[in-house]
Amino acid sequence: MFDQKEYVNRFIKDHYRTYKLRVDKKDRVVLNHLEKEDNVNQYLLTLIRADIEKRRKHPFVDASVVIDFPLSKTMKELVEEAEKADILEDYGLYMNLADAIDSQGKKEVARHLISESQWKILTRRYHL
């Protein structure tokens, strides 16, 4: 017989790591703020990701180059993965993704999805 509770508990154990957050009961400012949030977990994850981005050192990505134009779904996925590889300092993965961004950019220029100057901006930010 299928035990849904056991299934959910196993899924959570296999796919997530749990952290406990303790807030002093006297800290009403923080408690009130957290109580107003619909999804405290998502709120905290958003704050942590913003902090990671703020403190990030960019070992491979040229952060001075800004992508201020829309990207195709494929290019957006490649860029997101390259950014993650940069955060994790995974040079091999980053190099593969930078090469894929270059190749995809050439295809998109040929299909008139992006301009040649936009492709050059992408390859400057995600350089080999």
Which pLDDT tens digit goes with each residue over 9-33?
999 999 999 999 999 999 999 999 9
Is residue 64 over pLDDT 90?
yes
Structure tokens at 85: 């590889």
Domain regions of the chain by residue span: 4-55, 73-125
Mean pLDDT of 120-126: 97
Q: How confident is the model at residue 2 (pLDDT cuts 50, 70, 90)?
A: confident
pTM of the model: 0.70
Helix (H, G, I), strand (E, B) or coil at 125: helix
Listing DSSP states for 24-74 in one string gives -TT-HHHHHHHHH-S-HHHHHHHHHHHHHHHH---SSS-TTS---S---HH
The answer to whether 72 and 101 have CB atoms below 8 angstroms apart is: no
